[in-house]
Amino acid sequence: MTDENARDCVGPPGLPGPPPVGASALPSGTYDGTVVLVTGGGTGLGRAIAAEFARLGADLVIASRNADRLKAARDELAALGGRVTAAVCDIRDPRRVREVFDTAGEAYGLPDVLVNNAAANFPVPAEDMSPGAWSAVVDITLTGTFLMTREFGRRHLAAGTPGSIIDVGASYAWTGGPGFAHSAAAKAGVKSLVETLAVEWGPYGIQVNGLVPGLMPHGDMTAEIRGNLERAEDTGGHRVHDQHRPPDDKASRQPALRVGLPRELGWAATFLASPYARFITGHTLVVDGANWQRRDLVSPPVVTVREQLGRAAFEG
């Protein structure tokens, strides 16, 4: 167990911590000569995914809207070995999407792997959600993923080359996500795209898989997503281990008794796109310590989304 996950408490230990930063289950050089395009690769989980591909030899293209964040990530990722190109792009814009693939092509060639990681999200009760808020999240998370995927697929079909797509999802694609109606609907659409296109493009050698992170806190989380985590901490809820863990311990809310580390998602991504996963397609791999399957013997009291967000009663 690493220091990051060490706990000095009595009680069950939870799932063991992962190997240290820099470790990999795949052979060194697995991605030598491979081009990997990661949307949202300038921050958080996208950057962690990109880092694991870079450690294994990939050349990277990272794409998103914010040039400053991309540049900082590019410098950090380049230090891991491979070449890195940053492309400013709003994935809602089909013209910019085409240009990103042109940029990648000029730099290294057609990407072999596409990781659709970019997404948008903020908590809001459905009854308060404006049409613009709905569209912003659905257009980025679902339509942006489709536009990137379509461009990747068209170019590979035209070239007659194989490829691998990984769509980063969320477990509320299966369960629904109270307070996140837009994002949950969009992620359900993304999961459906994975299943549809794995069949449609399998004959052409293109794998399409989903990858779902659990709670993996990181320093780039938006204020609203971070605020949501902090709200959860405020409500306490340490039914089993109150005496051992402080009430702000996110880990105690997970069956694993720990949160996930971003590199654990990166390792799963590098496996899914690797030669060792060539017969896996149309599958969504959940890396969340079984949190999404959690049920208690006694259900907790229902608290409305409005109450959880501290909003007054809806008055129309």
Instruction: Decide if 158 contacts 166 (C-beta within 8 A).
Output: no
Distance of CA 39 to the CA centre of its chain: 10
Instruction: Tell me the pairing of strands 206-213 and 163-168.
Output: parallel
List 170, 212, 256, 286, residue binding ligand TC6 (CB under 6 A): 170
Residue 88 touching ligand TC6 (CB under 6 A): no
CB of 208 to ligand NDP, least distance (A): 16
Distance of alpha carbon 125 from alpha carbon 309, whole angstroms: 8
- For residue 50, the SS3 value is helix
* Residue 296 DSSP label: -
Stretch that binds ligand NDP, among 2-10, 35-43, 122-130, 278-286 (CB under 6 A): 35-43
Residue 92 touching ligand NDP (CB under 6 A): yes
Distance of alpha carbon 9 from alpha carbon 99, whole angstroms: 53
Restricting to residues 210-229, name those near ligand TC6 by CB under 6 A. Answer: 222, 224-225, 228
Length of the chain equals: 316
Query: Based on CB atoms, which residue is closest to ligand TC6, 209 or 228?
Result: 228
CA distances from 216 to 8, 9, 260, 307 (A): 21, 22, 5, 25
* Residue 172 known to be catalytic: yes
Instruction: Decide if 58 contacts 52 (C-beta within 8 A).
Output: no
Structure tokens at 46: 């996208």
List 14, 65, 227, 277, residue binding ligand NDP (CB under 6 A): 65
The single residue of 31, 108, 172, 276 carrying the catalytic annotation is: 172
Stretch that binds ligand NDP, among 84-92, 198-206, 268-276, 278-286 (CB under 6 A): 84-92
Q: Give me Rg for the CA atoms of the chain.
A: 20
Structure tokens at 307: 């109450």
Residue 117 touching ligand NDP (CB under 6 A): yes
Residue 69 touching ligand NDP (CB under 6 A): yes
Stretch that binds ligand TC6, among 28-36, 118-126, 239-247, 278-286 (CB under 6 A): 118-126
List 50, 124, 138, 168, residue binding ligand NDP (CB under 6 A): 168
Stretch that binds ligand NDP, among 4-12, 43-51, 53-61, 200-208 (CB under 6 A): 43-51
CB of 65 to ligand TC6, least distance (A): 8
Instruction: Decide if 251 contacts 17 (C-beta within 8 A).
Output: no
List 39, 121, 270, 274, residue binding ligand TC6 (CB under 6 A): 121
Handedness of CA 126, 128, 132, 133 (dihedral sign): negative
Residue 220 touching ligand NDP (CB under 6 A): yes
Query: Based on CB atoms, which residue is closest to ligand TC6, 157 or 232?
Result: 232
DSSP characters for 95-119? HHHHHHHHHHHHHTSS-SEEEE---
Query: Based on CB atoms, which residue is closest to ligand NDP, 170 or 268?
Result: 170
Count the neighbouring beta carbons within 10 Å of the beta carbon of residue 69. Answer: 19
Pick from 212, 123, 213, 105: nearest CA to 161 = 105
Query: Based on CB atoms, which residue is closest to ligand TC6, 109 or 125?
Result: 125
Q: Which residues bind ligand TC6 (CB under 6 A)?
A: 119-122, 124, 130, 132-133, 136-137, 140, 170, 183, 222, 224-225, 228
Q: Which residues bind ligand NDP (CB under 6 A)?
A: 39-40, 42-46, 64-66, 69, 89-92, 117-121, 140, 144, 168, 170, 213, 215-216, 220-222
